[in-house]
């Protein structure tokens, strides 16, 4: 399949926004391994960046795919506040 660079760039831009924050503390600061993951543009929905990340702020170890978006982190904070009746 011949792909447009724009299609790849847009997909990766969106993917990076969806997997930006540490799932434990919400920090963007992290170290990561630098293995290349192959992206099959015909099966984009199956793509997972499995590079190992370690959060600089809290030390949590996870894959790049496990990182979450700002919106997801905000929703998680709201759920926790409701669970424990925090204001």
**pLDDT, tens digit, 9 for 90 and up, residues 13-48:** 999 999 999 999 999 999 999 998 889 999 999 999
Q: Do 47 and 53 form a contact (C-beta atoms < 8 A)? A: no
- Taking phi first (over 0 means left), then psi (-120 to 50 degrees means alpha), and beta for anything else, what does residue 59 get? left
Per-residue model confidence (pLDDT) at position 15: 96
Per-residue model confidence (pLDDT) at position 77: 82
Token digits for 33?
Answer: 């391994």
The CA distance from 73 to 20, in Å, is: 10
pTM above 0.95, yes or no: no
Say if strands 30-32 and 61-63 run parallel, antiparallel, or are unpaired.
unpaired
Token digits for 10?
Answer: 């847009």
Sequence-separated (6 or more) residues with CB below 8 Å from residue 81 = 87
User: Given pLDDT bands bounded at 50, 70 and 90, which one contains residue 2?
Assistant: low
């Amino acid at each position: 399949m011949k792909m447009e660079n724009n299609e790849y760039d847009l997909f990766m831009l969106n993917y990076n926004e969806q997997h930006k924050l540490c799932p434990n503390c919400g920090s963007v600061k992290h170290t990561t391994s630098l293995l290349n993951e192959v992206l099959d543009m015909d099966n984009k929905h199956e793509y997972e960046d499995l590079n190992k990340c370690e959060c600089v702020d809290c030390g949590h170890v996870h894959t790049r795919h496990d990182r979450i978006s700002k919106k997801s982190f905000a929703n998680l904070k709201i759920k926790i506040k409701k669970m424990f009746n925090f204001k």
